[in-house]
Every structure is written in C-alpha cells, then in structure tokens.
Amino acid sequence: MADFQTEKAAVRACQAALEAATGESLGAVLAAHTTGDYRWRGYHPFGELAGADAVARTFWQPLKDALRHLQRREDIFFAGSNEMDGHASVWVVSMGHLLGLFDAPWLGIRPTGKLAMLRYCEFHRIAGGKIAETAMYFDIPHLMAQAGQDPFPLQTGAFLVQPGPRPHDALLHDPQDPETGRRTLAVINAMITDLGQWKSGLTLEDELARTWADDMIWWGPHGIGATYTIARYAKQHAGPFRAAFAERSQTRHICRLAEGHYGGFFGWPNFTARHIGGFMGMPASGPAGEFRIIDIYRRKGDKLAENWVFIDLLHFWKSQGVDILDRAGRL
C-alpha cells in the first residue's frame, strides 16, 4: 500500500525552495521542481498557465513583490490517490495562509504596509518525483477586505481570518492508515450524492444531517463567510444559495482524494448554475455561470465536522458581466 512519502517530500521541497527564492530566480527554482509540461490552474484573473517560467513571472514574483517576506502558514497537508482517474495518479494537498507585509500594490489592491494573509489551497499532481500539475485557489476578496477595499456587500456568514482544524492534527507528513482515508472518502462521496441533486425529498436540515455533524463549521470564502452548526449553515448559506440558483449541472471533479481524517476535491468547473437573483445581494444575471471550487473536509466519526471552501467568485461574477477587481479598484 502506497504511503505517498516520496510525493509529499517533492511538494515540501518545492515549497521551501519557493519561500527562499527571490526575484528572477523564482522561475529557475520552480522549474527544478516541476515537469517540462507543468500545468497550473489559478483563481481569476490568472486562469490556466503553462510552464514554470510563466507561473513564476505571472503569479509568484508579483505576489512576493507585494507581500514582502512571504511565508507559508500551513494548516493542512495530506496526499492520496485520485478517485477520479481510478486511483492512477497521486496528488498532494496543502492549505493555509500566505503571510507577508503588504508593501506594494497587487492586482490593483492598495498596499497597507501591514501584515496581511492570503488564504490558499493547492492540489499538486506528482509524476516522476516532480510536480506535473497544480490547482491553486486563493481568496483575493479576503485580501481586498483586509486592505479596506471590500468588494462585496454584508455577507450572510462571518468574516474571519480562518483557523485550521480544531484538533490541530492535519499536517500528515507521516504515513497514515489507509482504511481511515477510505472511510473519510466514503463520507465525502455520500455528501456529494446528497448535495448534487438538491431534491432529496428531505428538509434541508435533515438532508445535511445525513453526512454532517450537528456542530459542523463551514469556513466559506469572503463574500459568503463562515457559519456554525447545521441550522445556521442552512440559514446562512445552503438555503439562500439554493434559492438563488436554478438549472444546476451535475457535479464533476478533476481530483478527489482523502488521507486519514482529511479529504477534498477540486473541479474546473465543479458545476454550472443559472443565477435567478439574491446571491450575495446581486440581481438575477441570466446566463449559467461556472463554479470553480476547492473543498477540504475533516471527518469525525461517521460525519463531516469541518469544511474549508474556496470559490472563485471573481471568475463567476466576471462571467455574469461584473468585474469585481475593476469595481473595487475604484473604491
């Protein structure tokens, strides 16, 4: 049974090298840890990038120039084989915050000269001991709010710098019991089955209770916010979200995996839906939009206890004719 130690070591080495690298050396450093056909998917406005040099020039160098002395504050780290390709590929997941001194503009966001934190989550596919593919989603609106340029109206959930898991046990650097991961993935899959249909015949709270603990915490993206307990999650996100959308497509993922009590997935997109009004205080917008999402879960017993969510809201609203970055730049 694979223990994923080689794959984890490859990602940790790349993370350390990127943190130490500066300026034009970033491209060479990233190239040393990635394959020649490296593919990167990122939050809007970055989209898909090809090759280490493009990723370094377009994303890492501008970010490190803006958030000086950048450091990774990692809360979750695990690996596993990908259920979506029959467990043929191995992926490594890292989630936490990128912390630095916000000393220069980034994407039109004004610097504060103060400490700032960018929520992130990344999935890395490993091939031949190197990173062949990355999906990296982050919460740009959360950074904008820290800089006094909050692009969204008052949200349904709470605006917080989000902590890691309650047990503080999610840096899975060592091998884990495979059966524990299989149990976690089974609960995630059961939840996806319920979530994907929106018509189970049960009340929303009863549907959620099938796979969620009563005291679950949903750590949502800025613009939606965090919420606690099934009842408040139903009231403050799941219920309003379902009421605001129609014609939701089937769920589809590029990667879905679990190790130990932690698991997650991402899609490009995960699903599409048509906004009929009310989401984030916005009016109906017409065409179906894409939802690019990363979800990370903690299982406790036979239920999901915590969920960290990254939704590319900038991409979704751009598809609806609203350029959030441009609008916020005028605040």
Q: Which of 76, 221, 238 is nearest to 161 (CA)?
A: 221
Q: Which of 104, 266, 282 is nearest to 188 (CA)?
A: 266
pLDDT at 23: 85
pLDDT at 330: 61
pLDDT at 310: 98
* Burial bucket for residue 88 (CB in 10 Å: 0-12, 13-18, 19+): exposed
pLDDT at 232: 97
Helix (H) or strand (E) holding 213: strand 212-219
pLDDT higher than 60, residue 331: no
CA 195 to chain centre: 18
Question: Can you list the positions of beta strands (E) in 67-164?
Answer: 67-81, 90-102, 115-127, 130-138
Distance CA 254, CA 265 (A): 8
pLDDT higher than 60, residue 91: yes
Distance CA 105, CA 149 (A): 12
Mean predicted confidence (pLDDT) in 134-154: 93
pLDDT higher than 90, residue 32: yes
Distance CA 128, CA 35 (A): 8
Of 307 and 329, which is predicted with more confidence? 307
Go through the domains of the chain in sequence order and give each one's CATH number: 5-146 (3.10.450.50), 178-328 (3.10.450.50)
CA dihedral 271, 275, 280, 283 (to 10 degrees): 160
Distance CA 293, CA 268 (A): 8
Write the pLDDT tens digit of every residue in 56-66.
Answer: 999 999 999 99
Write the pLDDT tens digit of every residue in 257-284.
Answer: 999 999 999 999 999 999 999 999 899 9
In this prediction, residue 146 has a pLDDT band, given cuts at 50, 70 and 90, of very high
